[in-house]
Amino acid sequence: MGLLLREEDVERVIDMDAVIGAVRAAMIEFGEGVAQNQPRRRVYPPGGVLNVMFASHPGCGHYGLKTYSIGGGRARFLVILYSIEGDRPGSVEALIEANLLGAYRTGAATGVAAAALAPPGPVEVALIGTGFQARTQALALSRAIPVTKFRVFSRNADHKDAFVHEVAERLKVAAVAAETAEEAVRGAPVVVCMTNSATPVIEAGWVEKGALVVGAGINLPSKAELPPDLVNACEAVVVDQLESAKLESGDLLNAEASGGFDWEQVQELGAVLAGKAPGRRSPGGTVLFESHGLALWDVAAGALVLKRAREARLGQVVDLFGDHV
């Protein structure tokens, strides 16, 4: 018997602190070679896109996949969890509507990376982008590191002002609207780009030495939020998964094409967390974290939500199929 969880069920039990912990544990397990993750795969039916990505996370007792379709101007997200343990290993444990879950796990990954890679001490954060995903970026950062202020920029002035008000009210952290992306970025120890832009949204000369830059909005090789000269100037480049980055990171692929970037310098976040890679090398070196999204995060966050939903007696029990030989 499996559990069907709708978006409203997820919203009732999800918690950013817990998701950050789940994602961090999953990445350590990945860095130790225990968890497994397969990069996103896509097919292009007429008028749409189907995405599938999958992972195994023994530490949470599950393996599974996330699939999502894009069509008719909408995206529809579904996480499927299978049991590793219990009376029926391999059985379907949950079907989870995963729009909110995906936003939380993406934000949580940025929080995990920032805790490991950001400069020490209280910091101001430049946040470029004010869409749905930017909200959980701000939430996670406010929980993971000592943020004193968010400097927010969006090309849409109304969205920007509303976002600043929401962040200040919800997170109880100072937030200001920047007139330009440059104004937001200059002097900020942490810079987060969460946009769907096809071309770079910041310039290398705006970023102060020693800053952490996060590129979290793009997972298509045809798009890039960051310019090659910024990537090339970084002392350390950290990715969520090297295999995924080589397929999806327009930022890094463009830097490679420019001739100034070598994949040999790239570290995986899991290896950093597991103590197998150095991460930040010096206080004055700029660090880049490229986040493209792993199914491992969905399995980790989904397992957390499933456990809490069971405890709260939420969701719909469904008998999907029996065991067949």
At 204-226, the pLDDT tens digits run: 999 999 999 999 999 999 999 99
What is the rounded end-to-end Cα distance, in angstroms, of the chain?
Answer: 18
Q: In terms of domains, do 287 and 301 share one?
A: no
Q: What is the DSSP letter of 208?
A: P
- What's the pLDDT at 324? 47
Q: In terms of domains, do 11 and 82 share one?
A: yes
- CATH number where 144 lies: 3.40.50.720
CA distance 266 to 249: 12
Question: What helix, strand, coil percent values describe the chain, rounded to 5?
Answer: 40, 25, 35
Count of domains forming the chain: 2
Q: At what angle do helices 132-144 and 16-31 cross, to 10 degrees?
A: 80
Q: pLDDT under 70 in the chain at which residues?
A: 321-325
Bridge-based pairing of strands 62-71 and 48-57 is antiparallel
Q: Which helix (H) or strand (E) holds 108?
A: helix 99-117
16, two tokens: 């950013």
- What's the pLDDT at 323? 53
Tally of CA atoms within 13 A in the half-sphere of 319 that contains its CB: 2
- What's the pLDDT at 325? 45
> CA 293, 296, 299, 304 torsion: positive or negative?
negative
Q: In terms of domains, do 237 and 114 share one?
A: yes
Model pTM? 0.96
User: Are 29 and 120 within 8 A, CB to CB?
Assistant: no
Q: In terms of domains, do 149 and 244 share one?
A: yes
* Cβ neighbours, 10 Å, residue 90: 11
Q: In terms of domains, do 257 and 300 share one?
A: no
- The residue type found at 281 is R
Q: In terms of domains, do 60 and 140 share one?
A: no
Q: In terms of domains, do 234 and 223 share one?
A: yes
Residue 266 β-bridge partners: 237
Q: Would 323 be classed as within a structural domain?
A: no
CA distance 310 to 18: 16
Q: Smallest Cα–Cα separation from 4: which of 83, 93, 101, 99?
A: 93
- What's the pLDDT at 37? 98
- The residue type found at 122 is P
| CA angle in degrees (0–180, nearest 5) for 230-20-103 | 70
CA distance 141 to 127: 11
Q: Which domain holds residue 7?
A: 2-102+296-318
Beta-carbon contacts of 11 under 8 Å, excluding residues fewer than 6 positions away, are: 100
Q: Would 85 be classed as within a structural domain?
A: yes
Q: In terms of domains, do 279 and 305 share one?
A: no
